[in-house]
Amino acid sequence: MVRRFGLDYDNGGDWLPISLPGTVAKVFKKVDMKIILAAPRGFCAGVEMAIESLRMAIDAFPPPIYVYHEIVHNKFVVEHFESEGVIFLEDLSTIPRGATLLFSAHGVSPEIRQQAKARDLRAIDATCPLVTKVHLEAIRYAKQGRTIVLIGHDGHDEVIGTMGEAPEAILLVETPEDVDRLQVAEPGNLAYLTQTTLSVDDANRVISRLRDRFPEIQGPPKDDICYATQNRQEAVRILADEADFVLVIGSQNSSNSQRLTDIGRECQTPSKLIDGVGDIQDSWFEDVKTVLITAGASAPESLVQDVCRYLEKTFGAVIDERSIRTEEVTFPLPRELRGTGAKL
């Protein structure tokens, strides 16, 4: 039995109070869908620093501003800056001498830094400090004469930059099966590093196989997978079981967004990665009562809110924000921008 002027119900739905004109009492409206809005989600400290660095460069230096690689892996962020005249490129040979160049959050190899110097470019380094940490570890292990096994995705901007620090010393693997195929000259003189945006579970499986095959392998003193990647993955693992569907907001070339989608599926919950509200298909939500929404570390919060508003309007959804942990990490601006007077 349902009490329409109370909170009891027995029809499997929730009821929300709404006021009727000219009445004092409240009736309760059936909620068609619930959104579990995961937190933390969206921008991490490294992405915020990189985006703010580009904004400041636009204000401080003559146009156009060039960026090597996409500033972050998000379609809407890149398109926004392109509309402001920013030029994203993969080859420095077309940049006029003396122009301003910003290195993206994913980092670059020493070869690219040298090319920028040779062209007398004003280089601004917006590499995430957690990526820089991996670069420094690669340099340290290479100086020790170790062969470095880098766990990451072939062709990813971050992996390309890290491998460029010691190209003769680094071997790339993605899966435990890749580890099984490894051939190394000195099995007792190895070290491993990881891309910062991997699935924690996937990385641990590869590391476990490495340790099984090469018991003396050395690893970094602290986990390379970034705090934000781990936190967003943890939130999906905890909350996905409560949902009938998972929506991850992020671009297809965003490694950490792809991993969030994978984790939702591993939890046996149908999951989709979308750039924004325009990608939604209403047919996904047939018989769906609860949707978990999260966002990759390079996805703006405005895209999340657009999706929430669409589900509210279309399916009568209500939002339940669930915070798994609090993030208070910030990173300093690149030194090349610290004298401009702006603050992050």
The token pair that represents 12 in the structure block: 């499997």
Report the C-alpha gap between 280 and 317 in whole angstroms.
Answer: 15
Active site residue 137: no
The token pair that represents 59 in the structure block: 């204000």
The token pair that represents 161 in the structure block: 């930059």
pTM to 2 decimals?
0.86
Ordered mean pLDDT values, 10 residues apiece, the chain (344 residues): 31 39 40 92 97 97 97 97 98 96 97 97 97 97 98 96 97 98 96 95 95 97 90 97 98 95 97 98 96 98 98 96 96 88 47
Using left for φ > 0, alpha for ψ between -120 and 50, and beta otherwise, residue 124 falls in beta
Q: Are strands 190-194 and 147-151 parallel, antiparallel or unpaired?
A: parallel
Choosing among 3.40.50.2300, 2.30.30.40, 3.40.1010.20, 2.60.120.510, the CATH entry for 130-213 is: 3.40.1010.20
Residue 272: per-residue pLDDT? 98
- For the domain spanning 33-43+227-323, the CATH number is 3.40.1010.20
The token pair that represents 182 in the structure block: 């490894």
The token pair that represents 92 in the structure block: 């420095």
Residue 222: per-residue pLDDT? 82
Report the C-alpha gap between 290 and 148 in whole angstroms.
Answer: 44
Residue 117: per-residue pLDDT? 97
Residue 221: per-residue pLDDT? 83
**Domain residue spans of the chain:** 33-43+227-323, 45-128, 130-213
Residue 340: per-residue pLDDT? 63
- Domain 45-128 of CATH type 3.40.50.11270: yes
Please tell me which residue in 158, 177, 186, 312 is annotated as part of the active site: 158
Judge contact between 6 and 260, C-beta under 8 A: no
